[in-house]
Amino acid sequence: MVATKKSPKRSSEQVELERLVAGEHSEPHRLLGAHPGKQRGKDGVLVRTFHPDATAAELVRPDCEPLAMTPQGDGGIFSIFIPDTKLPMPYRFRYRFEDGHTWEQEDPYRFLPTLGDTDLHLFNEGNHWRLWECMGAHVRTIDGVAGVSFAVWAPNAVRVSVVGAFCNWNGRRYPMRQMGSSGVFEIFIPGLLPGEFYKYEIKTPSGDIRVKTDPFAFSMETPPGTASRVFASSYQWNDREWMERRPARDYAREPVAIYELHFGSWARSDDGRPLTYRELAPRLVEHVKRFGFTHIEPMPLAEYPFGGSWGYQVSGYYAPTARYGDPDDFRYFIDYCHEHEIGVIVDWVPAHFPKDDFALRLFDGTALYEHGDPRLGEHPDWGTLVFNFGRHEVRNFLIANALYWLNELHVDGLRVDAVASMLYLDYSREEGEWIPNKYGGRENLEAIHFIQGLNETIRIHAGGSIMVAEESTAWGGVSRPVEEGGLGFTFKWNMGWMHDTLLYFSKEPVHRKYHHNDLTFAMIYEHTERFIMPLSHDEVVHGKGALLSKMPGDLWQQFANLRTLLAYQYTRPGKILLFMGTELAPWYEWDYEWPLDWTLSQNPERAALQRFMEDLGRLYRETPCLWRGDADNFGCSWIDCHDSDNSVLSYFRRDGDEYAIIVLNLTSVPRDEYRIGVPLPGLYVERLNSDDLRYHGSGYDTFKEIHSDPITWQGFDQSIRLNLPPLAALVLIPD
């Protein structure tokens, strides 16, 4: 029998060092850095460092000669024991490399964590409302040493490292420490500067290596690059007065006319590139003020990889897209808008995120931000992943993100995309493709809880912000306060009105009497919610045709129909949203790869349309009865909604004792001596006529001033006679 030689028993410390060299250690600060120690009966400090590419290392202390460190094996670990020394002890490392060059650095592993127990507790609980201040990358100076701290949530990772050009993207160089059971990994790296690109290298439980962008990155590489970028804002805001007024605003009783746009295709520079945030600001603000808009609503600006998603598949929730500049350039854009009394609402996408492997998908090798079960975690329509709203940290990530845009970037509101897909577990799913809630129903209880928590948190911590739901179903109480059982949004997009109205206007006028209900039906549910009436980007893409091309008839009739549609939108209850280009009336659909054709403004019909929209916007802003009573039952009343044979609608808007009369003739047949009832006797003055020659109308002769008659009509004691132009809207104001 031959005796076998046993391997020497390794100490636990040796095992841990081997794990560190192998890139499998989640607590490198326990081994690396300076620690109290004892050797040969003497107290002192043991200092250890790890650099996988170094051939030698020295400890450099102030006012001392460099001390050579002893290699521990050949894996890049070096150590030294300094007797009769106590901590804290300032020092640096000098590394020597095979090619002969040297490099010095402060020790990343001698600094205390930059997150406290309170931060971690609140995050794990889901209630850290300034989460961006401790997560992500932050330029800091600690103990007089400048550098960047990093913190990321990856609870199932075996090891997480910061990687970048500063370490040749080597994940063994800067492993992070795991902060107890919180799932958060942290490190402070001295010497890094703003502008550094970085990612996180994550070793998963299965042993795979995943390289991820930072979910909390404030800035990212310009697509198609996907790295995160260290960024420290130096912007000095000039909108203090605006921000101080914001919490007291009641947008339900203010004029709200929103100009929706896609930044990259609104306009281009002379050489064909998209305008930057700073270039766009003065041109866009001048343009929207010309037409009387109160707010700008960009489509999503959080960083996204694929231009064809228009921003609706987000990879960097805390980073304004680098396509148009850095985050301070974006701050300038917001600031400029506020200085000129224009608010900004940004599209925000908490419903889903893309499957791009560099971003949130399987972040630490497990379904972390998403559900593991595809019946809950995948969106069949968009090929995206659904957030796990039942997870405290995921809810916190999203709600803190909303607060970041509202409070740190000074955005005035968020239009929450795809709310319907969040509310229903069976959204776009067939039987067997979804899992009922605990009561057997189709409502997504976790998403409802998230939405209510989102809106209530914003009400408390970002008061005066506008929260808008893009919600296309009959879900009740979308804009009702949370304490009354609602979802808590400020407004809801009225998708039903948009659909029915465009359907009606697409009909030949001779057939409209059979579709009269399409225009009147929305008033039945008008006061169940606080509504925004959108004519949005969704209606001018994917084969639906441009807004002008939806209108029937010859060119004159198409423009007349479009003017009447806009007058109807501006004068009925609800706030207003128009997509960019409505003022240009192009024939073609919107294409994100091409800018608007601004030469269309030189066309006579379109120049006339712009004059009409200028006057319509001014009338809206200057006439409180067109907006102050939007949320009240008495703010709008029919005069006559039953004249389907003539396709004429008449109604009045009221604000206290002030009111306006609106009459729509929706056929190409003029109606002379058309009588309508009016609330009070007196003189009525024509304030807007969409058929005016200035607007390229027919110039049909109307009464500019009309005295009421004591003739009972349509339930009123007084009435007036009107000449109604073809395909036109009249707005009359009592003198």
Q: Would you say 586 and 596 are in contact if contact means Cβ atoms under 8 Å apart?
A: yes
pLDDT in tens, 263-279: 999 999 999 999 999 99
Q: Report yes or no: 197 and 184 within 8 Å, Cβ to Cβ.
A: no
Q: Which residues partner with 28 through β-bridges? A: none
Q: What does each C-alpha distance from 53 to 99, 256, 393, 601 come to in angstroms?
A: 11, 61, 37, 63
Can you tell me whether residue 429 is helix, strand or coil? coil
Reported pTM: 0.95
Convert the pLDDT of each residue in 56-70 to its tens digit.
Answer: 999 999 888 999 999
d(CA 110, CA 23) in angstroms, rounded, equals 20
pLDDT digits (tens, 9 = 90+) for 478-494: 999 999 999 999 999 99
Helix axes 495-505, 555-571, angle to 10 degrees: 150
Contacts of 458 (CB under 8 A, 6+ apart): 399, 402, 403, 406, 465, 467
Domain hosting 264: range is 254-624
Please name the residues in contact with 705: beta carbons below 8 A apart, sequence gap of 6 or more.
683, 684, 685, 686, 735
* CATH number, position 402: 3.20.20.80
- Contact between 584 and 600 under an 8 Å Cβ cutoff? The reply is yes
Give domain status of residue 248, yes or no: no
Number of domains in the chain: 4
Q: SS3 for 319?
A: strand
Same domain, 275 and 192: no
Q: Give the pLDDT confidence score for residue 6 in this predicted structure.
A: 59
Question: Is 728 in the same domain as 613?
Answer: no
Task: Say if residue 196 is in the same domain as residue 300.
Answer: no
**Range list of H helices, 58-175:** 117-125
d(CA 516, CA 251): 31
Q: Do residues 378 and 493 share a domain?
A: yes
For residue 718, give both structure tokens: 């007084």
Residue 508 within any structural domain of the chain: yes
pLDDT at residue 3 greater than cutoff 80: no
Residue 184 pairs in a beta bridge with 153
**What's residue 5's pLDDT?**
58
pLDDT value for 633: 86
Instruction: Kindly state whether residues 577 and 646 are assigned to the same domain.
Output: no
Residues 166 and 260 in one domain: no
**Are 276 and 415 members of one domain?**
yes
Lookup: tokens for 81? 């024991």
- Co-location of 398 and 522 in the same domain: yes
**Residue 476 in tokens:** 């009740």
Contact 151, 120 (CB under 8 A): no
Q: For residues 77-104, give the mean pLDDT.
A: 92
Q: Tell me how far apart the alpha carbons of residues 208 and 586 are, in angstroms, rounded to a whole number.
A: 52
Residue 112 lies in a domain: no
Does 593 share its domain with 645?
no
- Alpha helix (H) residue ranges in 253-391: 263-266, 277-290, 327-339, 374-377
Phi-psi region of 662 (alpha: psi -120 to 50; beta: other; left: phi over 0): beta
Question: Mind giving me the DSSP string for 232-262?
Answer: --------HHHHHHGGG--GGGS--EEEEE-
User: Does 2 map to a domain?
Assistant: no
| Gap between the Cα atoms of 231 and 214, Å rounded | 12
Q: What average pLDDT does this structure show over 291-297?
A: 98
HSE-up of residue 17 (Cα within 13 Å, Cβ side): 20
Helices 392-403 and 445-461 sit at what angle, rounded to 10 degrees?
A: 40
Q: What is the mean pLDDT of residues 170-180?
A: 95
Q: How confident is the model over 667-686, as a mean pLDDT?
A: 96
Residue with tokens 């009447």: 564
Q: Do 640 and 706 sit in the same domain of this protein? A: yes
Q: How confident is the model at residue 12 (pLDDT cuts 50, 70, 90)?
A: confident
Can you give the pLDDT at residue 7? 59
Contacts of 516 (CB under 8 A, 6+ apart): 644, 647
The pair of structure tokens assigned to 7 is: 């391997």
Tell me what the mean pLDDT of segment 648-667 comes to.
Answer: 96
Instruction: Please check whether residue 51 lies inside any domain of the structure.
Output: yes
Give per-residue pLDDT as tens, 368-388: 999 999 999 899 889 999 999
Per-residue pLDDT, 670: 97
Task: Tell me the CATH number at 719.
Answer: 2.60.40.1180
Phi and psi dihedrals of 332, rounded to 5? -60, -45
Question: Is residue 234 situated within a structural domain?
Answer: no
Say if residue 414 is in the same domain as residue 317.
yes
Q: Tell me the average pLDDT across 132-143.
A: 97
Residue at a domain's end among 580, 607, 624: 624
Q: How many residues does the chain have?
A: 735
639 and 524 fall within a common domain: no
Q: What percent of the chain has pLDDT over 70?
A: 99
Question: Is there a domain that residue 8 lies in?
Answer: no
C-alpha separations of 386 from 469, 473, 493, 565 in Å: 18, 19, 22, 37
Select from 213, 229, 245 the last residue of a domain: 229
Partnered with residue 161 across adjacent β-strands are 175, 201
Look over the chain and give the mean of its residue pLDDT values, rounded to a whole number. 95
Pairing of strands 705-707, 683-689: antiparallel
CA angle 174, 175, 181 (to 5 degrees): 145
**Does residue 247 lie within any of the structural domains?**
no
Cα–Cα distance list, 358 to 119, 334, 355, 411, 413 (Å)? 26, 29, 9, 27, 29
Kindly tell me the sign of the dihedral angle through the C-alpha atoms of 283, 288, 292, 296: negative
At 2 the pLDDT is 55
Instruction: Tell me how far apart the alpha carbons of residues 590 and 685 are, in angstroms, rounded to a whole number.
Output: 39
Catalytically active residues, by annotation: 417, 470
Of 566 and 656, the one with more pLDDT: 566
Only one residue has tokens 């609106």, namely: 662
Which of 73-77, 278-282, 340-344, 656-660 comes out lowest in average pLDDT? 73-77
Residue ending a domain, among 581, 601, 624, is 624
Say if residues 724 and 648 touch (Cβ distance below 8 Å): yes
What CATH number has the domain bearing residue 73? 2.60.40.10
- The DSSP secondary structure of 508-552, one letter per residue, reads -GGGGGGGHHHHHGGGGSGGGS-EEEEE-GGGGSTTS--HHHHS-
